[in-house]
Amino acid sequence: MTSEVSTGSGRVPTVAAGASTGSVPPGESAADAPRSTSVRRARLMVTRVDPWSVLKTAFMLTLAFAIILLVAVAILWSILDQLAVFDALSRTVNDIAGSGSTQFDLKSVLSLGRVMGITLVVAAVQIVLLSVLATLFAFLYNLAVRISGGLELTLAEEA
């Protein structure tokens, strides 16, 4: 059973799954028969990108990245706290500043809540900014396609 696939350069005959293209010698199955190395190619032009699809995709990707960022910052802060890096830096700052009536406490300045709040604000700005920029670039691509003709892709399938 054969059919034809329409491509940019004409029609290419294809073979349906399970169909045989030739005779198989006795004692051999179709899976053991030598395969021909025919390659089906299709040239496609990307002439338009849907900005709404780009916005949804960019939003989901940046949301995933924001979640990864929040988890990474929480883990990093926890590791630094367990290693007593904040206490060591506070002692170093107090030694450099001299003995005064006030003691500098880096851990209170960089508390987990404050660091996560700042990270959350940065992640929210990143989500909005990158989603808007990706959509803007989709509109710009659609305008540029009118001049350049689009992006040409060649897809190949080995049979």
Q: Report the share of the chain in percent with pLDDT over 70.
A: 75
pLDDT digits (tens, 9 = 90+) for 78-99: 999 999 998 888 888 888 877 6
Helix axis angle, 51-82 relative to 112-148, nearest 10°?
Answer: 150
More confident residue, 19 or 136: 136
Of residues 59, 65, 42, the one with CA closest to residue 138 = 59
Task: Classify residue 69 as exposed, middle or buried by CB count within 10 Å of its CB (0-12, 13-18, 19+).
Answer: middle
- pLDDT of 124 strictly over 50: yes
The pLDDT tens digits of the residues spanning 37-57 come to 788 899 988 899 999 999 999
For the chain, helix (H) and strand (E) counts, in that order, are 4, 4
In the block, residue with structure tokens 């940065």: 122
Q: What is the pLDDT of residue 32?
A: 59
Whole-number mean pLDDT of the chain?
A: 82
pTM above 0.85, yes or no: no
